[in-house]
Amino acid sequence: MTEKHIVLEDIDPVVFYGVGNSHLQMIKALYPKLRIVARDNVIRVLGDDEQLRIFGEQIEIMRKHVLQFNRISEEDILDIVNGKKTKDESVKGVVAYTISGRAIKSRSENQQKLIDAFDKDDMIFAVGPAGTGKTYLSIALAVKAFKEKQAKKIILSRPAVEAGEKLGFLPGDMKDKIDPYLQPLYDALEDMIPAVKLQDMMEKHIIQIAPLAFMRGRTLSDAIVILDEAQNTTPAQIRMFLTRMGWNTKMIITGDMTQVDLPNEARSGLREAMRVLKGVEGISFIEMNKKDIVRHKLVTRIVNAYESYDKNNKEQNKERNNESVNKD
């Protein structure tokens, strides 16, 4: 008889063992000749060498299933033990899964272009109006790449620019002061990575979330790097950020040119970067529009209303300017 220890790395053992250890009890029933004891994320198993080998291989497949899909069912366990594909594995085009098991996949042509560009190029600019899934899909791609060991780190950044209101003094340490600016990034990550695992990854700096100003002087290697709200960067800031790119790194830069919160006299670095880098090999530009909006149906109507409003204002201002010139 041989004893073997199997460590359930990178997953929540509670998900693996099931509610009330139901999955664990099922696994024990499927391997009656083995003595199986589990504690925390370690499974201790006793049996003959051949049975231990098969058990270890199948437990690893189950572990990878939980890592990829954030869930596993009794039906999945049976399929794996019987050498079959699970239902989740049969679904195509899925980027990642939320912690509730919802599939994250492209929901529009331009979202699919973003996914394809990520596979093809090392730097992607994704611009478009609110609700088109730019940030959420980008983070899903980063999580997928990390789980598949294509990168060792996920680095998320945003310029710390207030959206039309002054927040004033913020209490607490540096993290407390910058977190309000970075909350949308936390929201997306919390949707895809279990809370305990996410906290652990952040403590180990596997996932790093920081304001753009903290990027200066760094070389970002072996990472998926996302710059969100890039329309609120200055030309100097985005130039600094883009030149942080190191070996084996992919960058996604997202922004919405209709939501620039910079002072009136400041130019948007995103607009300039897209103009300067257009045509550079290895860089993709994905332009999303109203058809890509995947939030509540009212968001599309709101975007349409504001576009009409801005267009009318522009035409009225043009008429006023023409009248002024004629009077002069």
Q: How far apart are CA 118 and CA 110, in angstroms?
A: 12
Per cent of the chain over pLDDT 90 is 51
CB distance 284 to 277 below 8 Å: no
Higher pLDDT, 326 or 193: 193
Q: How far apart are CA 127 and CA 287, in angstroms?
A: 5
* Mean pLDDT to the nearest integer, 266-288: 92
Q: Which of 92, 96, 113, 112 is nearest to 104 (CA)?
A: 96
Q: How far apart are CA 181 and CA 213, in angstroms?
A: 13
pLDDT of 184-193, one tens digit each? Answer: 888 899 999 9
pLDDT above 80: residue 324: no
At which residue do the structure tokens 């008429």 appear?
Answer: 319
Q: Which of 117, 114, 124, 118 is nearest to 252 (CA)?
A: 124
Q: How far apart are CA 269 and CA 314, in angstroms?
A: 23
Region of 249 on the Ramachandran plot (φ > 0 left; ψ -120 to 50 alpha; else beta): beta
Q: Which of 302, 305, 287 is nearest to 132 (CA)?
A: 287
pLDDT of 145-176, one tens digit each? Answer: 999 899 999 999 988 765 444 445 556 655 66
pLDDT of 221-269, one tens digit each? Answer: 999 999 999 999 999 999 999 999 999 999 999 999 888 878 776 788 9
* Mean pLDDT to the nearest integer, 94-112: 88
Residue 322: what pLDDT? 66
Give the count of beta carbons closer than 10 Å to the beta carbon of residue 146. 21
Per cent of the chain over pLDDT 70 is 89
Residue 174: what pLDDT? 54
